[in-house]
Amino acid sequence: MATDEILQAIPHRPPFLFVDEVVEQSVDSLTAKKHVDASEAFFEGHYPGNPIMPGVLISEAVFQTGAIFLTRLLAEEPEGDSDMVPVLTKIVDARFRSIVRPGDDLYITVKLKEKAGRFIFMAGGVKNGEGKRVMNVTFSVALAKAEQKE
């Protein structure tokens, strides 16, 4: 899945899009890639002379990857959940293991843990290009009715 397909799947747009491409999909998981470019605006202030990607943006990459996965999952639902959007409801046990710097590639994997009605529980993990763990998190979303655009 390329960037144009990602833009069709989720509402996020640059400069707040933190997924470049989908590299692997299965029934219960999805892996995406993000190249952390040195020109990213957040590096100007975090931190000058020692640029580090903020943990909250690494987390956001996980949640966007989850949204891409759920778009596909909901499209396959016979109950008509395709008009629903996932809304983040809980973040549990987020752990950051290593620093992300300009030039790093991130591989973001989300896995479906459970779907209970309108609630979906997922696990997310991020590794760098060398396979070193960057972050892991468990999170949940609730499916909310999408607002109609006029």
In this predicted structure, which of 5-19, 68-82, 115-129 has the lowest mean pLDDT? 68-82
pLDDT tens per residue across span 98-133: 999 999 999 999 999 999 999 999 999 999 999 999
Cβ–Cβ < 8 Å for 2, 33: no
Encoding tokens for residue 7?
């833009």
Predicted pLDDT at 39:
96
How far apart CA 41 and CA 53 sit, in angstroms, is 10
Predicted pLDDT at 78:
67
Whether residue 15 is preceded by a cis peptide bond, meaning omega within 30 degrees of 0, is yes
Name the band, by pLDDT with cuts 50, 70 and 90, for residue 77. Answer: confident
Predicted pLDDT at 61:
99
For the question of residue 12 being annotated catalytic, the response is: no
Predicted pLDDT at 69:
96
Single out the residue of 125, 122, 124 nearest to residue 140, CA to CA: 122
Q: Which among 17, 25, 40, 46 is annotated as catalytic?
A: 46
Which superfamily does 3-145 belong to? Hotdog Thioesterase (3.10.129.10)
Domains of the chain, residue spans:
3-145
